[in-house]
Structure 1
Amino acid sequence: MTKVLHIHPVSPQPRLLREAVEVLRGGGLIAYPTDTTYALGCSIGEKSALERLIRLRRLDDKHEFTLLCADLSVLALYAKVENPDYRLLKAHTPGAYTWILRGTHEVPRRLMHPKKRTIGIRVPDHAICQALLAEHGEPIMTSTLLLPGDEYPLTDPVDIRNVLDGQVDMILDGGFGGLTETTVISLVDGDGPEVVRQGAGPVESIF
């Protein structure tokens, strides 16, 4: 049975955050709220948790995974970024954007696009996410809680519990989530930003 933690969306309880991080470090899979939608998350090196996520979402081998990061301080470790691109990222983080960048050797191969060797980087503007990342001490592998056959992500914590009970180890209930996913911007080609998906983050200020 999946454990549900009712966590405050503005002032997350440290005790609950520690409990969630214990699950992540133990190889668990969690569902949690972000500044856009609810998401699924696990620790970067946990292969079994990642495989569970892939099965749950029925993702193919070309899916581009995203690292949820507290800030840009870890960027150089996981991604290759040119100075103009870094300035763009700095101006729009934290926020509702996922940035597609070329990954470094620090990123497990199974998290990157198999041919392009790219990875998504995301810095959320959300108290629960930031507190969770601070407690965890490193990025979290994340993917939108959008299940096969659904047009929109799950938003109601009650629905999330009913659907995911027994399929994830923990649900962080931070209230209702959003329906709109992040805006995805690719910075891979070196020709400036390319909008891959328009979502919650405005694109007008990107160009």
Structure 2
Amino acid sequence: MAQYFEVHPENPQPRLLKQAVALLSNGGIVAVPTDSSYALVCHLDDKAAADHLRRIRGVDDKHHLTLLCRDLSELANYARVDNKQYRLLKAATPGPYTFILEASKEVPRRVSHPSRKTIGLRVPEHKTLQDLLALLGAPLLATTLIPPGETEPMNDANEIRDRFEHQLAAVIDAGACPLEPTTVIDLTEMGTGGDAVLVRQGRGALGAIGL
């Protein structure tokens, strides 16, 4: 049975978030609000949790998972970023964008794309999620909470609890969040002189980051 943490949207209670951190550290999957719909998250270093997250989401190991990072400096620990890529990332973070980059050695091979050795990374602009990341002290492995066989993400905490209460360790409710996934941009070609490639248009506007 999933625990339910109802937190204040602007001043989330640390004691509740600490309980969620403890569940994540023990291998749990938690549904968290972001600046672009809810996401399922787990501890980066827990293989069993990552496998469980994929099963809940109904995706295989070829599906890009995303690292949620506190800030751009943390993101740069997990991806190879040159100056041109860094300038674009700086303009877009924090915000509703996911960037595909070449994974650094800090990323476990089992969570990067099996053939391309890439990883999706983003810095969310959401107070509750930022506080959770700060308490954890590490990135979270994440995927948009889109139920298997469906195309739209979920954004209502009560509906998520009702539907996944036996598969999740917890649901964090900080009020409804947007019902639109992130904009996904592949920056790997930019690292070899190419251009950024739009993979999915979502909530993040391209014009806002100069694309």
TM-score normalised per structure 2: 0.95
Match of 2:159 in 1: 159
Distance 1:168 1:160 in 2: 9
**Structure 1 residue 177: deviation in Å?**
2.4
Distance 2:86 2:33 in 1: 26
Match of 2:35 in 1: 35
* 1:60-79 equivalences in 2 (<5 Å): 60-79=60-79
**Structure 1 residue 162: deviation in Å?**
0.6
Distance 1:64 1:11 in 2: 32
**Structure 1 residue 193: deviation in Å?**
1.2
Distance 2:137 2:105 in 1: 20
**Structure 1 residue 109: deviation in Å?**
1.1
Runs of 5+ unmatched residues, structure 1: none
1:35 aligned counterpart, secondary structure: coil
Bigger CA drift: 72-81 or 125-134?
72-81
Match of 1:130 in 2: 130
Distance 1:151 1:189 in 2: 28
**Structure 1 residue 61: deviation in Å?**
2.1
Matching residue's letter, 2:23:
V
Percent sequence identity over matched residues? 48
1:80 aligned counterpart, secondary structure: coil
* 1:55-94 equivalences in 2 (<5 Å): 55-94=55-94
* 1:166-181 equivalences in 2 (<5 Å): 166-181=166-181
Distance 2:196 2:49 in 1: 32
1:110 aligned counterpart, secondary structure: helix
Match of 2:54 in 1: 54
Q: String of CA shifts for 1:173-207, please: whole Å, max 9, x gaps.
A: 11112211000011001212111100000012332
> Does 2:7 align with 1:4?
no
Distance 2:76 2:91 in 1: 17
Q: Is the 8 A contact 2:12 2:128 kept in 1?
A: yes
Question: Which of 197, 203, 207 matches 2:206?
Answer: 203
**Structure 1 residue 155: deviation in Å?**
1.7
TM-score normalised per structure 1: 0.97
Distance 2:60 2:24 in 1: 23
Q: Is the 8 A contact 2:75 2:122 kept in 1?
A: no
Distance 2:187 2:80 in 1: 10
Structure 1 runs, 4 residues or longer, greater than 6 Å off: none
Runs of 5+ unmatched residues, structure 2: none
Count matched residues: 207
Alignment RMSD: 1.0
Distance 2:24 2:61 in 1: 23
Matching residue's letter, 2:197:
E
